[in-house]
Amino acid sequence: MIATAKSTLDELSTFVRETAMLESIQSLLEWDERTKMPIQAGEYRAEQITYLSGMIHQRRTDPRIGQWLDELAASPLADDPHSDIGTTVRQMRRDYDRRTRLPQSLVEALTRQSVLGQQAWVKAREENDFLAFRPHLEEMIRLKKEQAAAIGFRDQPYDALLDEYEPGESTERVAAILAALREQLSPLVAEVVATGKRAPVEILRREFPTSSQESFGRGVAARIGFSFDRGRLDVTHHPFCSGMGPHDCRITTRYDERFFPSAFFGILHEAGHGIYDQGLRSEQYGLPPGSYVSLGIHESQSRLWENFVGRNYSFWRHFFPQAQATFPSALEGVRLEEFYFAINQVQPSLIRVEADEATYNLHIIIRFELEQSLIRDDLLVADLPTAWRDKYREYLGIDACDDADGVLQDIHWSAGLFGYFPTYALGNLYAAQFYDAADRQLGGLDGLFAQGEFEPLLLWLRHNIHQQGQCYTPAELALRVSGQPLTPAALIRHLRQKLAPLYGIRCG
């Protein structure tokens, strides 16, 4: 029986790896579309990706997969649900069951609308024209509701969409976690703002040449562990990280010569995603043990390197002299303490990707609440810009002056990524708990960073998170690594400890 099961496992693995190869080709086309593709190629690119999407869906729902999984589930090979084989059977059954509920016509329609919607979004944002984008968003929401109905859900349609990105989570539980976060975060932000103390952010708005930003950012990304032998850095409208195979991970950023943090922390963020992808077990590529477990855990890695490491005082004790040498005119005479305060300012703002560490999650909570309303039909797309402005006024005390910097600022809804936004906030919470655990177990990260030593943290993440693949659910992984379930406590403690000496607020 075991010999037969091993033969079945080989057949399943070969079939799935071949499908993963097709998916990597699709990823390459999508990367090219958002970085290098000529504008006029957009319509045909949509057809190319749609065609591939249909082929992949056919393979992912092939009846032989169900038969192979049935045979393996009945064998002793799958007795341990957290072993590589047990994980393969468990996770592939989950994926197979979800996909077989979706008609191929719907999969192809979603893919086509995603490509066309993203292309329409780029133009609409450039022209500040929400009306031109509105029909694309309305069609995408119609398709996402159809997708949720086909998959099925426990309490509300949004559950089916959220579960695609954060397996095992429910809208109710995530809403409760984010509500608890907001209850502690809003008073913290208000406390900081009430001090009236202002960070010297003008030093970040001097002249930072793009070529120097690129070389500095690449150098730091390499130092913290992103391998450019297995990856590359490019420019795009909205930064992202994309994997095209076990040794091909591509990150992107966008440069602003008059604002240093935009590209630099964007590079650190995407490098964090890339480090996770590069840390997955390449011999398991295409199979669940070699795949990331959730977008929340993925986001924890980008946020950990961007904020917990990249905005750390000890990190800049090591890198600030190099930054001053790279940008002599911009940073001449600037003290490390001034620079550190500037990159850790707290100031409610309109743009999510440029938000400070303390206010960022309020941006996410706004989007989380709005997209639930859209999926429930409590909010019409036509009324979305007004609802957006109302939420920003209520949660952050600011007004969106136009739709380009308001409801059109993110690419996600144009791509159909409903259920994606809350994973950013979950990622911040996971990151705080993981960083705490690593700091305790490695004997203090500040001392290592000050000496330019990042490999101990990298190896700790490799062992505890990256190489686990999908062997544990996100909730199980958080409990195993940090010793506690997900709560806002570690993140709020981290923020207070950082901001207390900068703004003169209470530490705890």
Task: Just list the catalytic residues.
Answer: 270
Instruction: Look at the chain and count its residues.
Output: 508
> φ and ψ at 266, to 5 degrees?
-65, -40
Whole-Å CA distances, 436 to 169, 399, 440, 475, 506: 23, 36, 6, 17, 20
DSSP state of 356: -
Distance CA 309, CA 311 (A): 6
CB 60 within 8 A of CB 96: yes
Residue-wise DSSP of 27-42: HHHHHHHHHT--GGGH
> Is the distance from CB of 232 to CB of 250 less than 8 angstroms?
yes
Residue 307 per-residue DSSP state? I
Helices (H), 225-376: 260-279, 295-303, 313-326, 328-331, 336-343, 360-375
What string of DSSP letters covers 308-330? IITT-HHHHHHHHHHHHHHSHHH
66 touches 96 (CB < 8 A)? yes
DSSP string, 92-107: HHHHHHHHHTS-HHHH
Query: Under a CB-based contact definition with an 8 Å cutoff, are residues 203 and 338 in contact?
Result: yes
- Angstrom distance (rounded) from CA 502 to CA 192: 9
DSSP percent split of the chain into helix, strand, coil, nearest 5: 70, 5, 30
Q: How far is CA 51 from the centre of its chain?
A: 26
Q: How many separate helices (H) and strands (E) can be counted in the chain? A: 21, 3
- Dihedral sign from CA coordinates of 55, 60, 61, 63: positive
Q: How many CB atoms lie within 10 A of CB 33?
A: 19
Token pair belonging to 447: 């001392």
What stretch of H or E contains 231?
strand 231-235
